[in-house]
Amino acid sequence: MVTLVISSWALTFLAGGLAWTWRREAHAATSLAERRLRHRRESEARLEALAAVDGLTGLSNHRSFHDRLAGETARAERHERNLSVAILDVDHFKQINDRFGHPAGDRVLTETAERLRGLVRNGEHLARVGGEEFALVLPDVDGVGAFAAAERIRRAIASTPYEGVGSVTLSAGVCDLATAGSAGELYRLADRALYWSKAHGRNLTFRYTPEVADELEHRSATSEVQRPDTIANLRALVALVADRHPSTQHHAERVAAIAHALALETGWDPERAHRLRDAALVHDVGKIALREEVLFKHGPLDQGDLAHIRTHPLIGARIAARALDPEQASWVRCHHERWDGTGYPAGLRGTTIPDGAQLLGLADAWDAMTSDRWYRAARDHEQALTEIARQAGLHFAPDAARRLVELAESGRLGRIAGAH
């Protein structure tokens, strides 16, 4: 028999080797498990990211948008900050698909998404939330700012045709958190404003406010306005213009009242005077197309600014023609013409200016002079009357200027304007 003698040193060495081997195998198994876990988590993260992205455009999708909106709403409420939403819809998209085919429709959507990416600003969140519908979360932006942003985007999209398709336009609706009160209502009310834009002929932006909602929804309950192109709906557009700056609120109502009174004083029959009042209520509707940085500029206007401002009577007449008769539309178009031919848009002179435009332009100038504006304080009535008298036969029709002075001196002009 052979006796095997193993020293304690050898046993220690052997045990150490076995332990090292076991640790190495255990470490390898742990590393493999960790790699598999990491790989699974990375795959889940990729799938989660893919689930938040619209497959066609690469933008955030509907679910991701509403997650972001909920988070931004919570942040805005916590810090008492502004927050707005804009929803933008491609106009007549079904016609694009029907006429050019669905592949062309997809190209329009992908190009629109790409253009929108270039138009949104840092901190804003863009998503595709429906077939041809996009939405934008605007942190730290109030309703007026959201309206301006949507208008900037709408005009940019309309300004450049799409290859093979031609002109494509967007309709937009906006709302702010201060009006809505919650994330769900914010989206719903912006969507309602989008509906108004569609109903009013498309390629427009509407901002949801309770006042506009009351105006439109009350009128829509009457048989008078089952069609979208009505005075009430045009007034809703004018309200959006007025809402962009406090100094222009109720301007249209005051101008309409003064123009109506001037028409009666001049001998117009009541029915025609009422038609002038209706035209005056929407005489500034074309300003909805003006850039806010020009419309409310504090400093002097340069030539480019002036050219931009002078487009609004033409735009306004085209919009107003949906609800007004041709004569009324001519009053809107020509209310910035001047008796001496220095006005715009056509440089008409004297009696070639429609008589309703003569009265409307005078009423508009009077209210502008006697109201505070962002660029200067109001003149008192004596100063304004002096200016009207000085400009009679130059800017203003002499007979109309005389009638206004008579109304002012009798005290009736102040009561007429003050009632609005």
Q: Residue type at 234?
A: L
Cβ pair 330, 341 in contact under 8 A = no
Q: Residue type at 136?
A: L
Q: Residue type at 306?
A: L
DSSP 27-86: HHHHHHHHHHHHHHHHHHHHHHHHHTB-TTT-SB-HHHHHHHHHHHHHHHHHHT--EEEE
CB atoms within 10 A of CB 249: 14
Q: Structure tokens of 258?
A: 């003064």
Q: What angle do CA 92, 324, 158 make, to 5 degrees?
A: 30
Q: What sign does the CA torsion over 49, 50, 52, 54 have? A: positive
Structure letter (DSSP) for residue 139: E
Q: Structure tokens of 206?
A: 């509407």
For residues 200 and 181, what is the distance between their CA atoms, to the nearest angstrom?
A: 26
Cβ pair 203, 319 in contact under 8 A = no
Largest CA distance in the chain: 144
Query: Radius of gyration over alpha carbons of the chain, in Å?
Result: 33
For residues 235 and 284, what is the distance between their CA atoms, to the nearest angstrom?
A: 10
List, by residue number, the catalytic residues: 132
- Tell me the CA distances in angstroms from 12 to 18, 19, 99, 279, one per residue in order: 10, 10, 86, 106
Residue entry with tokens 């009505």: 230
Cβ pair 353, 321 in contact under 8 A = no
- Tell me the CA distances in angstroms from 339 to 132, 370, 412, 420, one per residue in order: 49, 21, 25, 28
CB atoms within 10 A of CB 30: 10
Ordered alpha helix ranges (H), 347-397: 355-369, 381-391
For residues 210 and 142, what is the distance between their CA atoms, to the nearest angstrom?
A: 15
